[in-house]
């Protein structure tokens, strides 16, 4: 445990939930975990006891990737953890594959088509999910991603070829999308079982992230907006190359700073924790430090996003991690550029670099 983690409280200690099982962490709120084939090797998902139109059952919050192992774990949960009750709706915080991947499959009742229920999601997340699931490429791969990162200094031919070849990265993990959905918006309230949950919109990590806060339960399902051990990835990708996601993310954190300090935070990665206000202060400090590093580097010489990656990330990165590291480096550069602190220069080599104005 690092020094920052010592400042947080983990009410369930080091206990983790085994795939195919659940643990109740608050009345009517159950924690489950699914594996991921990445360095970040798990996602936390949530089952909320529910009742809709007099029918008892469950709301699923987030789904895991489309993978036969994950499907098998869900089948076990459907058969052993729901008390014989159906899923009544599937609610997804945002469109990234580990959250949205199996939404269509779960909405349709899994392998045995046990039920047919609606997907609840924000419009921005639904539409980008539809685009990437149907398209040739995504933020993490394809020809567009390779061109984007090459323009920002990635010169490793092998890495660029790997990026081009990842054009079906998203569609493999999210092979289908529900053709209909129920729209969620920031500030909406949703009655789930005995609790009222407020939709908390968040920006920067994804287009229109949806966290859920229940004041009466004292619980925040934070999705990827507030994580206990790692910082949320905030990236500039090819689809919005002049975007300012870091400014949006830092603005979004203010929505959580008014919540009670003892709120139980249920994150998508890592362990449930208390210490929300402390964690937000840590995240703000983290980005302040990264921005200072970027300013210093650009004051010494013009820097591309590829130049900034080793400044911000001191470890060896695989191709999956490199796409997010490049995107995050560019997010810090773009924030300073759009604030007028840096100027952006395209060189004769076609590479974009940033220098102190």
If you write DSSP's letter for every residue of 227-263 in order, what string do you get? -SSSPPP----TTSTT--HHHHHHHHHTTTTTS-TTP
pTM of this structure? 0.96
| Count of positions (residues) in the chain | 357
Among the listed residues 98, 74, 179, 89, the one whose alpha carbon sits nearest the alpha carbon of residue 134: 179
Report the pLDDT averaged over residues 194-220. 97
- Residue 57 pLDDT exceeds 60: yes
Cβ neighbours of residue 196 under 8 Å, at least 6 residues apart? 189, 190, 214, 215, 216
Report the pLDDT averaged over residues 78-96. 98
- Residue 267 pLDDT exceeds 70: yes
Report the pLDDT averaged over residues 80-107. 98
- Residue 2 pLDDT exceeds 80: no
Domains defined for the chain, CATH in brackets: 5-287 (3.60.15.10)
Cβ neighbours of residue 264 under 8 Å, at least 6 residues apart? 11, 25, 26, 218, 219, 220, 272, 273, 274
Confidence of residue 44 (pLDDT cuts 50, 70, 90): very high
pLDDT digits (tens, 9 = 90+) for 131-188: 999 876 677 789 999 999 999 999 999 999 999 999 899 999 999 999 999 999 999 9
Residue 273 confidence (pLDDT): 98
Residue 117 confidence (pLDDT): 98
- Residue 1 pLDDT exceeds 60: no
**Residues 319 and 222: beta-carbon distance below 8 Å:** no
Q: Which residue has the tokens 């590291």?
A: 325
Query: How many other CB atoms are found less than 10 A from the CB of residue 217?
Result: 21
Residue 137 confidence (pLDDT): 66
Q: Select the more confidently predicted residue: 227 or 134.
A: 227
- Residue 291 pLDDT exceeds 70: yes
Cα 28–Cα 178–Cα 98 angle in degrees, nearest 5: 60
Cβ neighbours of residue 164 under 8 Å, at least 6 residues apart? 141, 142, 143, 146
- Residue 258 pLDDT exceeds 60: yes
- Residue 343 pLDDT exceeds 60: yes
């Amino acid at each position: 445990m690092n020094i920052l983690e010592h400042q947080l409280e983990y009410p369930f200690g080091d206990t983790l939930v085994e795939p195919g099982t659940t643990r109740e962490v608050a009345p009517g709120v159950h924690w489950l975990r699914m594996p991921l084939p990445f360095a970040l090797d798990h996602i936390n998902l949530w089952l909320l006891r529910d009742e809709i139109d007099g029918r008892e059952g469950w709301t699923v919050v987030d789904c895991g990737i489309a993978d036969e192992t994950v499907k098998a774990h869900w089948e076990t949960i459907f058969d052993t953890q729901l008390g014989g009750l159906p899923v009544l709706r599937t609610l997804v915080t945002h469109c990234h594959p580990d959250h949205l991947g199996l939404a269509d499959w779960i909405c349709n009742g899994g392998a045995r088509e046990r039920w047919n229920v609606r997907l609840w999601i924000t419009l921005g997340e639904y539409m980008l999910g539809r685009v990437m699931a149907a398209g040739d490429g995504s933020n993490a791969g394809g020809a567009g991603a390779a061109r984007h990162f090459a323009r920002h200094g990635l010169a490793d031919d092998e890495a660029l070829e790997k990026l081009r070849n990842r054009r079906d990265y998203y569609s493999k993990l999210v092979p289908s999308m529900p053709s209909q959905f129920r729209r969620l918006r920031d500030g909406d309230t949703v009655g789930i079982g005995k609790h009222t949950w407020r939709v908390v919109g968040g920006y920067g990590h994804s287009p229109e992230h949806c966290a859920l806060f229940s004041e009466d339960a004292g619980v925040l399902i934070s999705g990827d907006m507030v994580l206990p051990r790692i910082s949320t990835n905030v990236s500039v990708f090819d689809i919005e190359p002049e975007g300012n996601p870091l400014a949006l993310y830092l603005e979004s954190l203010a929505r959580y700073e008014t919540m009670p300090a003892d709120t139980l935070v249920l994150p998508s990665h890592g362990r449930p924790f208390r210490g929300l206000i402390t964690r937000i202060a840590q995240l703000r400090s983290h980005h302040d430090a990264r921005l200072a590093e970027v300013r210093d580097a650009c004051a010494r010489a013009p820097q591309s996003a590829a130049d900034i990656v080793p400044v911000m990330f001191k470890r060896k990165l695989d191709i999956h991690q490199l796409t997010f590291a490049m995107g995050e480096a560019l997010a810090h550069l773009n924030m300073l550029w759009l604030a007028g602190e840096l100027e952006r220069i395209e060189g004769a080599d076609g590479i974009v670099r940033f220098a102190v104005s």
